[in-house]
Amino acid sequence: MGIVQFLSDLLPETIPYWALVLLGAGIAFAIIIAFVSVVAIFSVWLERKVAGHIQSRLGPMYVGGWHGWAQSIADGIKLILKEDVILTDADRPLFKLAPCIVLGTALAAFVAVPFAPGVVPADINLGVFFIVAVSSLTTIGVLMAGWGSNNKWSLYGAMREAAQVASYEIPLGLSLMMPVMYFGSFSLSQASEMQAGWGGLHWYIFSDSFWIAIPSFVLFFTAALAETKRAPFDLPESESELVAGFHTEYSGIRFSFFFMEEYAAMYLMSAIGTALWFGGWNFPGLYLLEGTALFTPLAIAVFVVKSMFLVFVMMWVRWTVPRIRIDQVMALGYKYLTPIGLFLVLVASVWEYIKFSMMGV
Amino acid sequence: MGEILSFWFFATLSVGCALLSLFHKNVVHSAFALMGTLVGVAGLFLLLGADFLAMTQILVYAGGILILILFGLMLTRPEPEERKLGRIWGGIGILGAGTLLFVERVGDKPWFVQAKDLASPEPTVREIGLELLRRDSWLFAFEFASIILLAALVAAAFIARRRFNREEIE
């Protein structure tokens, strides 16, 4: 049931339809932005703890009491209260618009994430394709920030980001083709439904196509790291070379928009990985609760925990693998990942065809 | 009603951004305004039920071609005098001629198509895939176009690569 339908049942009939559409969009937006903020606040804290423990430190320990849980909330309040600096030589309209576009596209992509059966803001048939397409718009916002800052390092960072993201979209798209072929659908919620079962054996990564699923997931995860500008591919903001890359000149709330976008994009990529490879909201034994009131909250919890685990793996990689050079990034993308992706698509299509025609699965 | 609202939103977005990119003095701003046009057109495609086309429009044009245009502008330092009004009038002339040709060709077709239900557009991927890969359909044209594009890609790589003289290396 769509949110507009729900509202029209709830509210008196005198309210015009366009007001319902706007109201529904506003409510969906509020829920998504609240969710993304909470994910970002939690991820920042987690990132600091993970970084600390990997480097034999403790990370934040004081703010809030237990293991510094309120540290990123305090940081968020600090960022909101800070002075909003706009350079006199900056390209003002672009400088102001860039953070909105960057965060807006990341939020728009959340529309297609399936959290539980029926709990998806908009069940788009082309969910996978929609998320990849909308995320690619982030690059334009980053270029806008780099150009608008009127700063050499910002522009270099933006250029690197655009080149890197445009290149890694190819292996990312190719790696998504394997699960799409297996499920026969671009829809993320349909993919999650097809992985339902009493155990975990219906998840794509444990299915009869597991020998294609595992390399395709490695390909997807590598491309996703590059796509979200995470280490070892964090060249757009590599602090030892470019100060802070495209967001060097940003401060206060505008800077926090870029920060939120990074964590939102990480969560988004992890959500795609969860929905396609790791069974979405399915978990061994969860089917027993189907039909009860507990099922939907538990399914949402399973989905969020699974995707947060993938976010944790991204952080783990960041503090384990050193940053690579820009030419190595490009070489990895074009000379290794793209051919591997094309080869996997070929193998997967032959395998799915054999399965379909000979075994009738 | 929601469809009409969305139509006016996307139509205003695409036409407004197109005018902005046409008349803005700053070339980089013009290129960024093009993003609004491309996204607006994608929204119009979506309203007509062409979901795959809309996503491809965003992915290829806004996420790929526009970035190439921006790269070209940012790396070449465009001259301010290039934005002469004469060129814009030339463009308007070409646009007028194009419109006349368009009206002559498809003017008698129905203009106002009923917008599809936004909540559940019919998926078009399956039909597009079957049409492109069936032998009695568009298979030849599809493969021919991919060969031409591959040839263009190889040629571009050949032109752009660095050439070494044998003597220089030795």
Return the pLDDT at A355: 82
Residue A357: DSSP 8-state:
I
Residue A73 lies in a domain: no
Residue A69 lies in a domain: no
Which residues, 6 or more positions from A276, have their beta carbon under 8 angstroms from its beta carbon? A128, A176, A179, A183, A188, A191, A204
Burial classification of residue A351, based on how many CB atoms lie within 10 Å of its CB (0-12 exposed, 13-18 middle, 19 or more buried): middle
- More confident site: A326 or B152: B152
Does B31 contact A at CB distance below 8 Å?
Answer: no
Q: What is the mean pLDDT of chain A?
A: 83
Q: Chain B: residue nearest A181 by CA?
A: B126
Q: Which of A132, A140, A162 sits opposite B62 (nearest CB)?
A: A140
Is the pLDDT score of A299 beyond 80?
Answer: yes
Is the pLDDT score of A52 beyond 80?
Answer: yes
Does B29 contact A at CB distance below 8 Å?
Answer: yes
Residue A64 corresponds to which amino acid? G
CA-to-CA dists, residue A69 to A44, A46, A73, A203, angstroms = 10, 9, 8, 34
Residue A303 lies in a domain: yes
Q: Chain A: residue nearest B29 by CA?
A: A94
Residue A267 lies in a domain: yes
Place of tokens 């509202």: A7
Return the pLDDT at B117: 52
Instruction: Flag if A130 and B35 touch (Cβ within 8 Å).
Output: no
Best probe of the B interface among A1, A143, A150, A186, by most B CBs < 10 A, is: A143
Q: Which pLDDT tens digits describe chain B residue by residue (170 residues)?
A: 667 777 888 889 999 998 888 877 777 888 888 888 998 998 888 887 788 888 888 888 888 888 888 888 887 766 655 556 666 778 888 888 988 888 877 766 666 555 555 545 567 777 888 888 887 888 888 889 999 999 998 998 888 877 666 666 55
**Tally of domains within chain A:** 1
Return the pLDDT at A1: 46
Closest CA to A256 of A92, A67, A99: A99
Return the pLDDT at B111: 60
DSSP string, B43-56: HHHHHTT-HHHHHH
Query: What number does CATH give the domain B2-77+121-169?
Result: 1.20.120.1200
Is the pLDDT score of A58 beyond 50?
Answer: yes
Residue A29 lies in a domain: no
User: In chain B, where are the structural domains located?
Assistant: 2-77+121-169
- Residues in A whose CB is inside 8 Å of some CB of B read 2, 4, 16-18, 21, 91, 93-94, 122, 124-126, 129-130, 132-134, 136-137, 139-140, 143-144, 147, 155, 159, 162, 166, 169, 186
Return the pLDDT at A129: 86
3-state class of B154 per DSSP?
helix
Return the pLDDT at A106: 86
Q: Per-residue pLDDT tens for A241-266?
A: 777 778 788 888 888 888 888 888 89
Residues of A in contact with B1 (CB under 8 A): 16-18, 21
Q: How many Å apart are CA B163 and CA A319, to the nearest integer?
A: 40
0.90 exceeded by the pTM?
Answer: no
And the tokens for A149? 């800052």
Does B62 contact A at CB distance below 8 Å?
Answer: yes
Residue A226 lies in a domain: yes
Residue ranges making up the domain that contains A327: 80-358
